[in-house]
Amino acid sequence: MNGLLNPAELDALRLSLAVAARSVAFSLPLAVLIAWVLTRTRFFGRMLLDAFVHLPLVLPPVAVGYTLLLLFGARGPIGGWLRAHFGIELAFTTAGAALATAVMTFPLLVRAIRLSLDNVDPGLEAAARTLGAGPVDRFFSVTLPLMLPGVLAGAVTAFAAGLGEFGAVITFAANIPGVTRTLPLALYTAMQSPHGDAMALHLAGLSFLLGLLGLLAAELLVRRVRRLVGR
């Protein structure tokens, strides 16, 4: 890999992998919780919560990034509080790039987990309840293992999608070399450069390859886990 990519391209690749991994790690537990709430519970406002969760799918990514900047910027209500009490700054940082990526890929995680959870027989959970298993025990011993294919597929798909996130990242985290310049931002920068055609071609090819590998990995992982859990 070092011989195929120059230092700038390699740096963008490493940063993209780190940002995508952090975004999935940050959002996966919340995605499991939200998917379970939307699938297994009924309450007033459930439809509104469902729409809000999937809002990043239909909003322009730049609008999502701008909203994050208003909320988590140094003068925003959340960002200002984090900075004053914990010294945490998210805007224009690698962590901010991971946050923007997590927000944009969150609906993909929730949808994949919900589809898997829909196929879990509630009767199995009811049987565990009659045997004395509490809600937490039922979830970790029955529900989670059966929905694991969807969880893993959603995580891998979100990771692959996170590698290509552009609009929200550049708006909230800017395009800082070595800090927030991920693969798509590096590709955009190369396209704007007078002599960046070769680099743009390398990065575009690499993006296609990573996306394809991510989708294939998700499918193979789902098949493997389904065989292990007997589904």
How do residues 117-133 score in pLDDT, each as one tens digit? 888 877 777 787 787 77
**1 in a structural domain:** no
pLDDT of residue 223: 78
CA distance 130 to 70: 49
| % pLDDT > 90, the chain | 50
Mean pLDDT over 95-119 rounds to 92
2 lies in some domain: no
Ranges 27-31, 38-42, 53-57, 60-64: which has the least confidence:
38-42
Give the residue-averaged pLDDT of 171-186. 93
Residue 36 in domain: yes
In a domain? residue 61: yes
Output the pLDDT for position 202. 86
Q: What is the distance between the alpha carbons of residues 152 and 154, in angstroms, rounded to a whole number?
A: 5
The answer to the question of residue 41 being in a domain is yes
Question: Considering the domain boundaries, does residue 84 fall inside one?
Answer: yes
C-alpha distances in Å from residue 193, one per residue of 58, 189, 200, 206: 31, 6, 9, 19
For 121, other C-beta atoms within 10 Å of its C-beta total 10
pLDDT at 147: 85
Is position 151 within any domain? yes
What is the tally of structural domains in the chain? 1
Mean pLDDT calculated for residue range 141-147? 83
Distance CA 157, CA 164 (A): 11
Indicate whether 228 pLDDT > 80: no
CA distances from 36 to 87, 91, 180 (A): 34, 31, 33
- Res 231 pLDDT > 70: no
Residue 78's domain comprises 7-229
Does a structural domain hold residue 16? yes
Q: Dump pLDDT digits (tens) for 181-200.
A: 999 999 999 998 888 888 88
CATH number at residue 181: 1.10.3720.10
Identify the residue with better confidence: 103 or 122. Answer: 103
pLDDT score recorded for residue 221: 78
pLDDT over 80 at 10, yes or no:
yes
pLDDT per residue over 51-92, tens digit each?
999 999 999 999 999 999 999 998 899 999 999 899 899 999
Please name the residue that has the structure tokens 């989670």.
144
Predicted pLDDT at 1: 52
pLDDT band at 229; cut points 50, 70, 90: low
Cα–chain-centroid distance for residue 116? 17
Rounded CA gap, 185 and 165, in Å?
9
Give whichever of 58-67, 141-150, 213-222 has the largest mean pLDDT: 58-67
DSSP letters spanning 77-125: HHHHHHHHHH----TTSHHHHHHHHHHHHHHHHHHHHHHHHHTS-HHHH
| CA 164 to each of CA 73, 158, 170, 171, 221: distance values in angstroms, whole numbers, following the listed order | 23, 10, 12, 15, 21
Token pair of 116 as six digits: 């898997």
